Amino acid sequence: MMNNKRIIITLGEPAGIGPDIIVMLSQRSWPLELVVCADPALLFFKAKKLGIKLNLIEYNSESIPIPQKNSTLNIIPVKMLGKFIPGKLCEYNSEYVINTIKEATNRCMNKEFSALVTGPVHKGIINKAGIKFTGHTDFLAKITKSYKTIMLIVHDDFKIAFATNHIPINKVSKYITYSYLYNTILIINKDLQNKFNILNPRILVCGLNPHAGEDGYLGNEELKVIIPVIKKLSSDGLRVLGPISADSVFQSKYLNNADVILVMYHDQGLPVVKYNNIGNSVNVTLGLPFIRTSVDHGTALNLINSNNNEIKVNSFVKAINLAFDMSCNII
């Protein structure tokens, strides 16, 4: 079914795998219009290297959206600022990466696009360039002036939301306050309803400490914060359960009875995702005024000069398809 909404795509780190993947995906027909925010020279270079015929069409916001034909890409040109060497990071291109994200975000904020799909970035090189960047989730919150954003990983078999993102482990407990956790769960509940069409989400909350604190003997955040928040939200009509120990929650008896698992920090949830084969998940940002999805993998610099068969497009395909499905849920 044709959707009259457009999706805009950023490719992330130019020396990484993102540009290769989108050139590969240009060989497919899509039931919606995709627009890439990137340097045309980069895409032509990648197409030649991959032996792919590519026709770039400059995006016209006044045109009527049409399904994407194979061998074509619509593009909003953004020029790279530094030297480009495949597989080799260049800090001078970090501003280019940020510019593509800002350009795409502004167009989503203006309702020109129904969703943003982002390729993988390299946080280290962006920070080396003097740009403070802890990840798309926090950066998008800042430039959209969103109250709070939350990382959600959508896997074929489960969804995992993260109370905190890229926070040092010795600071995580400082973030788990009553108001912080309360508002986090409210946003998760709202976006699961509005963007995933889950009318009454079942939210299962992990504990912060081993064995969910063991009644206070292994930490008291559960007793002081997590349990009171769950009780309050439950009394308000939300389906919130827990806390469950993180070493137990990823069993089928819990997964089959939850729409989302809320973990307290990065490494409570990501090892499960990566164990279940990276490339089968999509990263979604909740709390934004538009839909944003992304791949579940990094820049894969080591694959750039290798056999093309090693480059996997699964997660990017899933990210586009999920963005399309989510946009269909929003009126």
Neighbours of 278 (CB within 10 A): 16
Banded model confidence at residue 150, pLDDT cuts 50, 70, 90: very high
What is the length of the chain?
331
Question: Is the per-residue pLDDT at 3 higher than 70?
Answer: no
One fold for 1-145+288-331 and 158-275:
yes
- What torsion do the CA atoms of 112, 194, 271, 140 make, to the nearest 10 degrees? 40
Q: Which of 323, 328, 316 is nearest to 25 (CA)?
A: 316
Banded model confidence at residue 309, pLDDT cuts 50, 70, 90: low
Tell which phi-psi region holds residue 121, choosing left (phi > 0), alpha (psi between -120 and 50) or beta.
Answer: beta
Q: Which of 314, 330, 329 is nearest to 155 (CA)?
A: 314
Least confident of 151-155, 228-232, 312-316: 312-316
The overall average pLDDT reported for the chain is 92
Distance CA 60, CA 76 (A): 9
Percent of residues, the chain, with pLDDT higher than 90: 80
What are 84-106's pLDDT values in tens digits?
888 999 999 999 999 999 999 99
* Mean pLDDT, rounded, for 136-142: 93
In CATH terms, the fold of domain 1-145+288-331 is: Isopropylmalate Dehydrogenase (3.40.718)
- Listed by start position, the domains of the chain span 1-145+288-331, 158-275
Distance CA 222, CA 259 (A): 22
CATH class as words, domain 158-275: alpha beta
Question: Is the per-residue pLDDT at 2 higher than 60?
Answer: no
Question: Is the per-residue pLDDT at 190 higher than 90?
Answer: yes
What are 228-272's pLDDT values in tens digits?
999 999 999 999 999 999 999 999 999 999 999 999 999 999 998
